[in-house]
Structure 1
């Protein structure tokens, strides 16, 4: 069955969405806010002009059979949600090029949102953020455009089922534990990557998670996502327009802070993730579908599902804390807490973490050896003093710490060298440009090389010689002085 990932009909109790206006209580917000730091009159005036044009336009009816930009033919409605309607569409450009798969998904801004001039900027921001999130567990957004008063986004078309429909179909039963844990891990990886890019989803729920026919999780609809406050982020990016002022969240998956108009934070996503994880494992909502504030005031406690490993349970309970300060810091930390013994696993670490753990031990041995034997058996030379970040200016130190978090996420999800510009290697290399002998970045690159070396050896042992040589070549291009990779090249 062909369907999509974005907005799906659901029973009233699950689809209920409430308007939020923020602590200022301003319920008549109709235009772009004045930026704290004026990014330039041309930008502000352009956005204002577009908003006014949309507000004054006569909305044309869009539905099945409509053609947008003389290119996208809307053929089937796939879902409807707070920000718009999603259609299966035929791309006439692909048809002309005789593409065997000419279909995409098109999300058209809803009529209610068109009445709010800020909605144009909201969708533009959604598109920009979604395009920024290039991750296998996040839906791919292609472009953002408009046809007269109709504003729309184009996205990949997915085959499968949204998670809310799956949960309702199975309730009160659940999927096999191993399959559930795979879904939870993929959801967490998607959010971990978003958090590393300073983006908070702000409406994480089963309806915004899609399970493809190949059991791949796709997190969708960053429509009200807002950049988490970061010292290195320009102020104007957060002040020209705040999508949160349009106000949409789902009470049964929202944290107490979201319900009480707090600033968006990665820990809000962790709360939603933990609720969804519990639903998948237990077949029911942890607080009987009551909002977090209500459950907190009643001192409700979730019941532990039978035979659930202690580490998984502790990770979920930590993520369900009503107090943000006590809750898991972000999705990366949630992933770490989940990485305990599981049914069918012999190790206390998930499979993807074993090479990293081995590499850390090897790195300690290599580092110690280099100090004892004057660097003759390692990459780290004793005459180079690896600098600590404590001597740096606070702003520079914070930037480096943020990039180190990004690198850690890339390592967790196996993005060692690729994609170019968004990998662990790129993150560590960027730090070394800023801080020449940074210890953590230097050790991180060593670990990247060690992991690549192990991957090449595994490929060769599996008789995939050509693939191994290709990976080795890429590794040496990036890390030409890595001793393990150099020795492998010599052996081959």
Structure 2
């Protein structure tokens, strides 16, 4: 990263479940993988293991070190409770003349390295994380060790962790559309993981990364779960206490996590709901108190004026202290935020109902013209292809993008913000599959939705806003007849 964020962490963000007698420091950075927890600490219980471990001839990993004769560590990007993240040059990529030979390398803390159970658990969980191919989940390349040094390699991102953003704007909230975009992308990441039977177990702003293109990336899948699992196989739980390893952050952990319950998707939902509340309200729903503390005191989150009734119902459902009352997984949370709700017989929001027959006809005519008569310039006609015709890996990637595009449209992010809109998602699909039928139809449908939204602005007397939306729509969809007709009506 070219830029560094030197904000210090608030003490309640770095609270741990086990007492330690060494001071904590923080040097957060804007990079992949690293949480913004303080440097790892060692409790007295670890002393015997650590001393035995340190009898080996260990070369300290630092800037300039080379791991596996391949990864050259060029810059330290962040230090957290789970380890240290470096920007590294992959020499294999250099040899292959790759234009972007840089990756992120997370060298895990000695608490992981010194405990064989943790190594086995982390290796197992990381293999699961490697299977999470989703646009909102950081790509994990490999898990390896060089001598005693355990490390992970993953994609290098540019931007900033979400907790940096929250602290920077606190006590203000994000603009609603920006906040909803982030919430939707976080929800999609967790929903996909839950569908693969993977629970994050430490969902918090420090494990969410916002790239310079406004794309959300959730990081550290599996690490927290590995810490919790390994804790079960030793006689003395404090030897590998997940709190001292940074596996839990009480501010965002559910009651069940704090009470060492079996990991469940509803634990992730609690953390997701807390983060969603912070983004929309500018504050923590329980004044940054752990869930068990808030529950025992009978604390209740207050509905901010800025949050609509429907969004508040979704968030408050996710904030339930009792697991049985909480939203069952991130997919349901996403549906409650933007999908079907009480009194609605469609998954589209109420403003999407009055799509006129004329608008639908325009889309059908455009598609028929394009497919059967060409583009009018003597060019061959375009034959649209179904996503289902593709190979499994490509089909899965495209289906994920199509879902992202659909949700963007549902919440009104048609063409903005740049990099996180329905239009951008459809363009990503077409970059992968040029004649994708669902993407082309989606773009036409997107124009139709914009026509409806613009008509609503006109009905409300907001002509200036309507004109701006028409102009921006035509920049992206210049051939859309409905948008053209609206422009001509002025």
Q: TM-score, normalised by structure 2?
A: 0.61
SS of 2:392's partner is coil
Equivalent in the alignment of 2:166:
167
Q: CA deviation at 1:287?
A: 0.4
The 2-side partners of 1:57 and 1:123 are apart by 22
SS of 1:199's partner is coil
Q: CA deviation at 1:129?
A: 1.9
- The range that moved more, 244-253 or 263-272, is 244-253
C-alpha offsets along residues 188-232 of structure 1, whole Å, 9 cap, x if unaligned? 1100011111111110000000000000000001244549xxxxx
Q: For the aligned residues, what is the CA RMSD?
A: 4.3
**Segments ≥4 residues shifted beyond 6 Å:** 27-30, 53-56, 236-244, 414-419, 424-427, 464-469
Q: CA deviation at 1:59?
A: 3.0
Residue 241 and residue 162 in structure 1: after superposition, are their counterparts in 2 closer, same or farther (change >3 A)?
Answer: farther
The 2-side partners of 1:4 and 1:124 are apart by 30
Contact 2:207 2:218 in 1 (8 A): yes
Contact 1:4 1:79 in 2 (8 A): no
Equivalent in the alignment of 1:76:
75
C-alpha offsets along residues 400-431 of structure 1, whole Å, 9 cap, x if unaligned? xxxxxxxxxxxxxx99677725867999xxxx
Equivalent in the alignment of 2:116:
117
Equivalent in the alignment of 1:216:
215
Q: TM-score, normalised by structure 1?
A: 0.60
Equivalent in the alignment of 1:299:
298
Q: CA deviation at 1:124?
A: 1.3
1:420 to 386, 392, 402: 392
Q: CA deviation at 1:264?
A: 0.7
Equivalent in the alignment of 2:333:
334
Residue 168 and residue 97 in structure 1: after superposition, are their counterparts in 2 closer, same or farther (change >3 A)?
Answer: same
**5+ unaligned residues in a row in structure 2: which ranges?**
20-43, 354-385, 400-422, 440-490
SS of 2:251's partner is helix
The 2-side partners of 1:277 and 1:64 are apart by 36
Q: CA deviation at 1:15?
A: 2.3
Residue 11 and residue 66 in structure 1: after superposition, are their counterparts in 2 closer, same or farther (change >3 A)?
Answer: farther
Equivalent in the alignment of 2:319:
320
Q: CA deviation at 1:58?
A: 3.5
Contact 1:167 1:280 in 2 (8 A): yes
Residue 98 and residue 4 in structure 1: after superposition, are their counterparts in 2 closer, same or farther (change >3 A)?
Answer: farther
The 1-side partners of 2:308 and 2:187 are apart by 18
C-alpha offsets along residues 136-168 of structure 1, whole Å, 9 cap, x if unaligned? 100000111111111111100000000000000
Q: CA deviation at 1:90?
A: 1.0
- The range that moved more, 300-309 or 317-326, is 300-309
Q: CA deviation at 1:299?
A: 1.1
SS of 1:200's partner is coil
Q: CA deviation at 1:179?
A: 0.8
Equivalent in the alignment of 2:436:
471
SS of 2:88's partner is strand
SS of 2:107's partner is strand
